[in-house]
């Protein structure tokens, strides 16, 4: 699957700064091929990075600079919000997980890389969730 079709959930990008070398390497390899993220992903990375990973704001900015250079960043809009509400209701998912999925759909992605969402789940018959750290991930 081409990089233009892949959307990254925040949890995948957080492995870039993880002590888990295997997952950090995997996240770096995936990011090198590019993809899509939303402003939500930037926000969540900054929040978790400074709170849980004890990163400085400068370190967060450095990592997010690399991520922003590799990925197309999509804004959060009222359309994204409305789509997320519909996804949350239809699939009984959390709102914030649904917001990731809505952003991916609006970016015309065919896949979301996430460790937190149910692997192989199909959303609106055109978006598939893949856990890039478990088993085989489709070729990009």
Give the chain's domains with CATH numbers: 3-130 (3.40.50.1010)
- Cα distance between residue 22 and residue 31, in whole Å: 14
Global pTM value:
0.92
Q: Is the pLDDT of residue 2 over 60?
A: no
| pLDDT tens profile 65-109 | 999 999 999 999 999 999 999 999 999 999 999 999 999 999 999
Q: At residue 3, does pLDDT exceed 70?
A: no
What is the overall mean pLDDT for the chain? Answer: 94
The proportion of the chain whose per-residue pLDDT surpasses 90, expressed as a percent, equals 92
Stretch 107-132: mean pLDDT? 95
Please report which confidence band the pLDDT of residue 39 belongs to, taking 50, 70 and 90 as the band edges: very high
* CA distances to 5, 43, 49, 80, 107 from 63, in Å: 22, 13, 10, 25, 22
Q: Interior CA angle at 86 toward 14 and 2, to 5°? A: 50
Of 3, 1, 13, nearest in space to 100 by CA: 13
* pLDDT at residue 134, rounded to an integer: 87
Long-range contacts of 80-85 (CB under 8 A, 24+ apart): 80/38, 80/106
| Euclidean distance between CA atoms 72 and 89, whole angstroms | 28
């Amino acid at each position: 699957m081409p990089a233009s079709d892949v959307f990254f959930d925040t949890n995948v990008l957080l492995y870039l700064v993880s002590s888990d070398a295997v997952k950090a390497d995997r996240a770096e390899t995936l990011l090198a091929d590019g993809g899509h993220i939303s402003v939500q992903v930037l926000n969540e990375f900054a929040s978790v990075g400074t709170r849980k990973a004890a990163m400085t704001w400068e370190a967060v900015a450095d990592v997010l600079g690399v991520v922003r250079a590799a990925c197309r960043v999509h804004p959060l809009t009222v359309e994204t919000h409305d789509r997320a509400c519909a996804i949350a209701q239809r699939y009984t998912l959390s709102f914030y997980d649904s917001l990731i999925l809505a952003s991916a759909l609006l970016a015309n992605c065919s896949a979301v890389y996430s460790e937190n969402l149910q692997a192989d789940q199909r959303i609106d018959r055109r978006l598939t969730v893949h856990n890039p750290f478990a088993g085989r991930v489709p070729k990009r």
